[in-house]
Chain A
């Protein structure tokens, strides 16, 4: 896999709302990245580990998750190509959750040493990474409101709209359709619902003409109404081009 392909989604995402000059992009493209493939459900990084590298998701979907003592799993965030889901490990030594491949994934491992050198030499990139972790926190705030307060249909709608927006930025949507390779059980773990409730909510959204989830493909049928139901405003993603 060539260097440009490895970092293509990351660069696309970073350039979407930030001013990076060509030297910044070149510095990212020439990072020493070791590419490795993972099977679905395989742990990329585990809770308690002390990684010496960060993971750039190149292809596939991954989740961050935490499993309780009695086996309950909460999916904390969903990750798509171009994300560095464990960027925090650069400064926080020990992983406090798992990073798990949801589908077959291609992951690029960037040594912490190389990333530290990069952010010291290129303040633009340091700011973009810092901003990235702040947006990460903004997404967690929405996630908490979602699982804590929203009714099931709004929860699902919110998750779908957020993913659609993020996938759109890295060029992974076809209009209002995109691939969502999640089982009803995985969606349940993300939404804090049971699988049967997820199944029923998907049916309700379909009957209401808002959203179609079929064979792991999502089609948004009525975006305005879906946004209204989800109380969705993408401002928290801080991805406007203005």
Chain B
């Protein structure tokens, strides 16, 4: 188990995670980040913001980044 911190960036706004989540491994943290990014992207989509980025730290070290951008190509 390790503690992962998920910092969220949406446009210019950054929300730092000071509490973190206890997870089994980096793979579980990736899945968690994808789930969060997808849900937040859906919520943002209703307001016209299309990009979500989550920077994940394992303990205090940067571990990985997930970014998600929703594009609609209308026919």
A152 touches B43 (CB 8 A): yes
CA distance A195 to B31 in the complex (A): 13
CB contact between A199 and one of B8, B24, B32, B43 (< 8 Å): that residue: B8
Indicate whether B35 reaches chain A with its CB closer than 8 angstroms: yes
Indicate whether B59 reaches chain A with its CB closer than 8 angstroms: no
CA distance A196 to B8 in the complex (A): 7
CB contact between A194 and one of B22, B24, B39 (< 8 Å): that residue: B39
- Total interface residues in chain B, CB < 8 Å: 17
The answer to whether A197 and B36 touch (CB under 8 A), given A152-B43, A203-B15, is yes
How would residues 6 to 40 of chain B score, 1 for a CB under 8 Å from any chain A CB and 0 otherwise? 10100000010101111010000000110110011
Query: In the assembled complex, which residues on chain B have CB atoms less than 8 Å from the CB atom of A152?
Result: 39, 43
The answer to whether A185 and B22 touch (CB under 8 A), given A194-B32, A196-B54, A197-B36, is yes
How would residues 196 to 238 of chain A score, 1 for a CB under 8 Å from any chain B CB and 0 otherwise? 1101100100000000000000000000000000000000000
B19 touches A197 (CB 8 A): no
In chain B, positions 37-61 with a C-beta closer than 8 Å to chain A are 39-40, 43, 54
CA distance A184 to B8 in the complex (A): 15
Indicate whether A118 reaches chain B with its CB closer than 8 angstroms: no
The answer to whether A196 and B43 touch (CB under 8 A), given A183-B19, A184-B19, A185-B22, is no
CB contact between B21 and one of A151, A185, A203 (< 8 Å): that residue: A185
Query: In the assembled complex, which residues on chain A have CB atoms less than 8 Å from the CB atom of B54?
Result: 196
CA distance A194 to B4 in the complex (A): 13
B8 touches A194 (CB 8 A): no
Residues of B whose CB lies within 8 Å of any CB of A are 6, 8, 15, 17, 19-22, 24, 32-33, 35-36, 39-40, 43, 54
